[in-house]
Amino acid sequence: METAHKILEIITFIISGLGAIVVIWGITEAIKAFISLKFSPSGKETVSESETIRQRLGAHLLLGLEIFIAADIISSAVSPSWEKLGILAATVGIRTVLSYFLRMELKQNSSETS
């Protein structure tokens, strides 16, 4: 049983790391795109290009949040105390609300640009 707990802890750690990589990747891409937009020799800075950068960052953040939620759910199987389950419920609730509003904003922005 101890081995199963260790394996689940390792899996949770790996999944959380993947979520962090997705978020960091998105932030890095957004910063690079923003800098290249600001310092482009053509000097064109359209709202649609900025909006595209924002949407791509939002998609990365949304995916990262979903991955973090999955890791939290798996971690609750490792040590299911009432205190940890309460913290998990609050964390998942907050992340789910953030994901919902981020998804709604991405849908709204994509429908406005179409």
* Contact assessment for residue 67 and residue 15, using Cβ atoms and an 8 Å cutoff: yes
Stretch 12-33: mean pLDDT:
95
Structural domain including 95 reads: 2-113
35-56 pLDDT per residue, tens = 888 887 766 667 778 888 888 9
- d(Cα 19, Cα 13) in Å, to the nearest integer? 10
- Helix 47-78 vs helix 82-113: crossing angle, to nearest 10: 160
Q: 26 pLDDT band (50/70/90 cuts)?
A: very high
- d(Cα 12, Cα 71) in Å, to the nearest integer? 5
45-96 pLDDT per residue, tens = 677 788 888 889 988 988 998 898 888 888 877 777 788 788 788 887 887 8
Closest CA to 103 of 72, 73, 60: 60
The tally of domains found in the chain comes to 1
3-state helix, strand, coil split of the chain in percent (to 5) is 90, 0, 10
* Contact assessment for residue 4 and residue 31, using Cβ atoms and an 8 Å cutoff: no
Tokens of 73: 């759910």
